[in-house]
Amino acid sequence: MPDRWKFAPHDRAVVGRIVQELRCSPLLAHVLASRGVLNGQDAKVFLDAKMNDLHPPAQLPGIDAAADRVVAALQANRRITIYGDYDVDGVTATSILWHCLKLAGGRVDYYIPCRLEEGYGLNCEAIRKLHEEDPERLVVTVDCGICSVEEAALARQLGLELIITDHHTMLEQLPDAAVLVHPRLPGSTYPFMDLCGAGVAFKLAWAVCQRLGDGERATPAMREFLKSAVALAAIGTVADVVPLVGENRILVKFGLEVLGRYNDKKTKKVEQPIPGLEMLIKIAGLGENTLFTAEDIGFSIGPRINAAGRLGQARLAVELLTTYNRQRAAQLADYLDQLNKERQTVERKMFKQARELVDEHPEWADHPALVLAHPEWHPGVIGVLASRMVEQYRKPAIMIAMNDAEKLGQGSGRSYGGFDLHAGLTACGEHLVGYGGHKYAAGLRVQADRLDAFRLAFIEHMTANKSNVVSEKEIYVDAEVALADLTNKAMTELETLGPFGSQHSKPVFAATRCELVEPPKKIGGGERHLSFKVRQFNKIIRGIAFGRAEWADEMAACPGPISICFAPGFNRYKGYESVELQLIDWQPDPSTVNPFAKSAPAPAAEEGVSTAV
């Protein structure tokens, strides 16, 4: 379906005021204005966010009681077990709290459930095992547990002290743990509701550090730990795709700075470096970076950590981020890199099978969501597959790995267009063995004989709630620009808006009357990506479109100039940087003939509507 370009309205007076008060380029002012910043003072607050702008931990519901219990356990020399999750958020949350408690001299270990055998979150068998090994231990969950009513009841019955810290969507009944820590607990007045599991764990570590200091300020060693741990919080925040606004933006902004210091030979190094993080940066091909972006986490660091959990070995990812042995860290980083390559191979096969399923059932393409199942799918990779299917078909997708022997399917879903995925699963809960997650991503289990009924119920729920889904087929454009305005200086200004991510996307611009300088090329593994070069007047600039190789022939066949919709950025290589366009969409301009055209002109777009071929 063609995309519509929706241009942000601009008040020239507001743009002019920002330019004058901030002394910035009109380009930056246009983007700020399009995102609700109305004057220079608000712009300065937004652009100059500081770690001091983070809310005090004490404001987070349950945090004081949790920190008090943790410190009491430390002082009594009791074992403290961190019960984590196998995704990046859970792994980094576990690592943050582990480093904190280890620095405090605590007896600390961790338990990460096997994704393939135990599934997500607390389970009763694990609770019994932990109690049998040491009934006096304190168990602290990170990134899980808020829906574990039965498991918390068992812990209470056994006398096992349990603190639950989480950020996922809650059920009506809350678990009866010793303490619950969650930004959205009933009655919460916490100013920011969108922390991820690592963000909540960072706040708990902060509160513990305060208590081990003078009650308000941590000791110098603990302060240095918190400064370095923000890198782990940033990785978890980006990887969990929570909104990159408010506190999350601050954590990621300063976490990226810490990551850059691992490679920077000129400035002050990280005071308490994590060897595994340093090795992971190198194995991901980021060893020369001093300016890290959220994309570096999302596309390079995060997937390697996630691969361990997806293939049932998340404990190794936690070991990587907690070991102080550099040789062991190097071995683990290399192993995770190999696991990621294995995951990519499995993912490519599954993606091909999923598209074939849709082709075999044409009626599914018209459904408002995709619910697909296959007996050969790896349960650890279905989340990645769901994301790829959302990207391909632009609708919510639930992918289910069926276990024919057990007649049970394990599924993972990703949302699209603002649809509340967790609410959708709740509406169809009678057909499921279990489910959990939040608005944007969720997991589920379904019996084989209930699969068709679940698919039908989910599709019916989506159809009935279409009015609550915002079409993302509209591309929101911050402003129309001339390519000549995209100077290195202007791009440096735009980078101050970052980091970019969910609900705070990169600036998107449009440019008209652009001519292809040469035929577009298909590049990358499997020739999945598109490389092109365009000229507008005397300005020539290179661009790339990820996963859009099919546009190469279409663009070459298009007559005349084209209009392009893109996110500009720097291409940095060996100390050099140049402006590069990431193509989001394009459409033909009705003008002169393209010298590289190989076929008849494409049909004209509907009058008054910007549409892409």
Q: What is the pLDDT of residue 590?
A: 55
User: What tokens appear for 151 in the block?
Assistant: 């498991």
**Averaged pLDDT for residues 347-364:** 94
Q: Does residue 416 form part of some domain?
A: yes
Q: Does residue 244 form part of some domain?
A: yes
**Averaged pLDDT for residues 546-560:** 90
| Whether residue 499 has a cis bond before it, omega within 30° of 0 | yes
Q: What is the pLDDT of residue 589?
A: 84
Q: Are residues 95 and 178 in the same domain?
A: yes
Of all residues in the chain, the percent with pLDDT exceeding 90 is 79
pLDDT-derived band of residue 469, with 50, 70 and 90 as boundaries?
Answer: low
User: Does residue 413 register a pLDDT over 70?
Assistant: yes
d(CA 287, CA 564): 33
User: Does residue 321 register a pLDDT over 90?
Assistant: yes
Total tally of structural domains belonging to the chain = 3
pLDDT-derived band of residue 471, with 50, 70 and 90 as boundaries?
Answer: low
User: What tokens appear for 561 in the block?
Assistant: 């100039």
pLDDT-derived band of residue 592, with 50, 70 and 90 as boundaries?
Answer: very low
- CATH number at 426 reads 3.10.310.30
pLDDT-derived band of residue 467, with 50, 70 and 90 as boundaries?
Answer: low
Weakest mean pLDDT among 41-45, 277-281, 429-433, 597-601? 597-601
Q: What is the pLDDT of residue 572?
A: 79
User: Does residue 401 register a pLDDT over 60?
Assistant: yes
The one-letter amino acid code at 302 reads G
**Averaged pLDDT for residues 464-479:** 76
Domain that holds residue 443: 343-468
- CATH number at 66 reads 3.90.1640.30
d(CA 462, CA 469): 9
d(CA 437, CA 383): 12
> What tens digit of pLDDT does each residue of 490-503 get?
999 999 999 999 88
Pair type for strands 521-523 and 370-374: unpaired
Short-list 160, 242, 161, CA closest to 200: 242
**Averaged pLDDT for residues 143-165:** 98
Q: What is the pLDDT of residue 472?
A: 55
User: Does residue 604 register a pLDDT over 80?
Assistant: no
**Averaged pLDDT for residues 317-338:** 98
Hey, is 391 helix, strand or coil? Answer: helix
How far CA 257 is from CA of 64, 249, 387, 508, 585, in Å, comes to 29, 12, 28, 24, 32
User: Does residue 141 register a pLDDT over 80?
Assistant: yes
Q: Does residue 14 form part of some domain?
A: no
Q: Are residues 428 and 372 in the same domain?
A: yes
Q: Are residues 77 and 187 in the same domain?
A: yes
d(CA 209, CA 140): 16
Of all residues in the chain, the percent with pLDDT exceeding 70 is 94
Q: What is the pLDDT of residue 246?
A: 94
89 Rama sector, left if φ>0, alpha if ψ -120 to 50, beta otherwise: alpha
pLDDT-derived band of residue 599, with 50, 70 and 90 as boundaries?
Answer: very low
- CATH number at 533 reads 2.40.50.460
Q: Are residues 497 and 396 in the same domain?
A: no
> What tens digit of pLDDT does each residue of 475-489 get?
899 999 999 999 999
Q: Are residues 97 and 157 in the same domain?
A: yes
Q: Which residues contact 48 (CB under 8 A, 6 or more apart)?
A: none
Q: Are residues 412 and 448 in the same domain?
A: yes
**Averaged pLDDT for residues 44-71:** 96
Q: Are residues 461 and 509 in the same domain?
A: no
Q: What is the pLDDT of residue 55?
A: 98
Q: Does residue 274 form part of some domain?
A: no
User: What tokens appear for 80 in the block?
Assistant: 């403290």
Q: What is the pLDDT of residue 595?
A: 42
> What tens digit of pLDDT does each residue of 374-386 get?
999 999 999 999 9
d(CA 319, CA 482): 50
pTM of structure = 0.87
Beta strands in 474-609 (DSSP E): 474-477, 479-480, 509-516, 521-523, 529-536, 539-545, 562-573, 576-588
Residue with tokens 């700075």: 257
Q: What is the pLDDT of residue 366?
A: 86
pLDDT-derived band of residue 611, with 50, 70 and 90 as boundaries?
Answer: very low
User: What tokens appear for 23 in the block?
Assistant: 């002394």
Short-list 335, 318, 255, CA closest to 498: 255
Q: What is the pLDDT of residue 460?
A: 95
Domain end: 216, 251, 286, which one?
Answer: 251
Q: What is the pLDDT of residue 608?
A: 31
Pair type for strands 79-83 and 370-374: unpaired
Average pLDDT, the chain: 91
